[in-house]
Amino acid sequence: IYNIEKFLPNLKFLILTGGEPTIQKKLDEDFYEKLNQYANEDLTFGMITNCSRFIGENAINFIKKNKKVIIMPSLDGVGEIGEWCRYGFKMKIFHKNLVKWIELVKDKTEYVVYDRINFRSGILINICVHNYNLFNMYDTLNYLNDLKLKKSQYILSFNNANDRYIC
């Protein structure tokens, strides 16, 4: 993070991952203020988030300046199942912040190519399906459909140490 300035002029792809980017001290408003100077049409920005917090004003401005933005909220289920599967997950907080993300990126339409896969800019829900949340997937997908996302995109990954027992 501290040496990022030498890469910024030629930066084409930046994705922030865990620990949770919205609470990392190094990814503060000063970090986004530096990034704002280099926002451009060719830069692809992505963030994987658990939606436990939202971003500050400098980060919002940076995202608004870029055309290619993918926000990837992680969701292991909704309601009690989601709260049980992911320690610290609070459905009410997740929902409040997800709605803010949806509003922030609703006008992003550019396609992003990553590792030979095309994604449309916007929200890309990351769902890890496992034995503990498998029977909550219907409710989870209904919750997401009720949000009326214009461009619904999902990544479903299946996680089971012994895949013979997953339905």
Express each pLDDT in 63-88 by its tens digit: 999 999 999 999 999 999 999 999 89
What's the pTM value of the predicted model, to 2 decimals? Answer: 0.87
pLDDT at 167: 43
Q: What angle do CA 110, 52, 48 make, to 5 degrees?
A: 35
User: Mean of the pLDDT values across residues 96-113?
Assistant: 92
User: Mean of the pLDDT values across residues 112-141?
Assistant: 87
Instruction: Tell me the pLDDT tens digit for each residue of 11-52.
Output: 888 889 888 999 988 888 888 988 888 887 788 999 999 999
